[in-house]
Amino acid sequence: MKRPPPDYERRAIEHIQPIRHFFLASVLHHALRLGVFGALEDAPGTGTAALADRLGLDERRLGAVLLYLQNEDYVLDDGGWSLTGKGRDLPTFAAWYQMLVGGYGVTFQQLGDVLRRGAGYAGRDATQVGAGSTGIGVTDTLPLALELLDSAGTEPSTLVDLGCGDGAFLIEILKRRPGLRGIGVEPNPGSVERALELRARHGLEDRLEFVTATAADVAKLDLPDGGRGAAFLTAFVLQEMLEQGGEDAVRDLLAATFDAFPDTRWVVVEMDYQPDSPLVSTHGMAKAFHNPYFLIHTITEQRLETSAWWRALFARAGLTAAAATTDPRVDSTGFEIGFLLSRP
């Protein structure tokens, strides 16, 4: 039997690191979702049995997860389980795990199948994707959308969020704009159910309503004051319409909306599709997030386009488009782009 070369173990360690991170991301997602990190933040020094009872989990299996997380420096057993500094910081970024692992984890299990010629699209957990996306958006998309709304010069009385997901993003806007009413339009019943729960939790029943419908139904909406003073928002929604209905569907939606509400403003947030940009292989945020994000959207029923492509589409629809991008302290790649659309 041939002996392995002297550097075999070193090379093996290097090449199986992606497997380690695959397992780690999965464990972190489920531990966050089940409340392990939150419980240890509230009650550091909790033993395995007490933690399992509090969360309704199997003690032996939870113990194995905690030992695993201790080896990855997220928790520490010091007469009871507590979070390390890294563990205390992690929940700030829970939405990334919810979207990419919880929402798109099933997507990558289908990658080998959808790469075959003639195959359809990979599936996803739309509820998890929507909730995770809006959670991430609080730090990047939300300030971008508010900046664009403010640039319109007049504050709208009603904001209509098309494809609102679980409504968390729209709720955050209403919390920052006390005089604003909101209407969330969302086709996924699971997301609408969660949106109603969040609305009640934040006490916004009198300012926020949800409609189970698609973005294409927007011109049929019965808006307050006939739509006067209304503005529209689509965050990462036109990319889905583009793939599922084509460019004409997007242009028809824009035209129908501005025909119905000619004085409105429309905030659009999308990604500038640049998978071959040098930034993607060199920039930390681009490698960690945008590189997998760009791949995801080629195998699910969504279509990303460049900033220049979107500008050209809006021009063909007879609209002006003022543009902005994210705060560089949050995402300095400039890949996330926003437009304020209006009809001249």
pLDDT tens sequence across 275-300: 999 999 999 999 999 999 999 999 99
- Whether the pLDDT of residue 219 is over 80: the answer is no
Cα dihedral 25, 112, 285, 309 sign: negative
Using 50, 70 and 90 to split pLDDT, how confident is the model at 191?
Answer: confident
Burial of 265 (0-12, 13-18, 19+ CB in 10 A): buried
Domains of the chain: 8-91 (1.10.10.10), 138-342 (3.40.50.150)
pLDDT in the model for residue 116 = 96
pLDDT tens sequence across 83-124: 999 999 999 999 999 999 999 999 999 999 999 999 999 999
Mean pLDDT calculated for residue range 40-58: 97
Q: Evaluate whether 244 touches 237 at the Cβ level (below 8 Å).
A: no
Q: How far apart are CA 214 and CA 232, in angstroms?
A: 14
pLDDT in the model for residue 226 = 80
Q: How far apart are CA 203 and CA 39, in angstroms?
A: 25
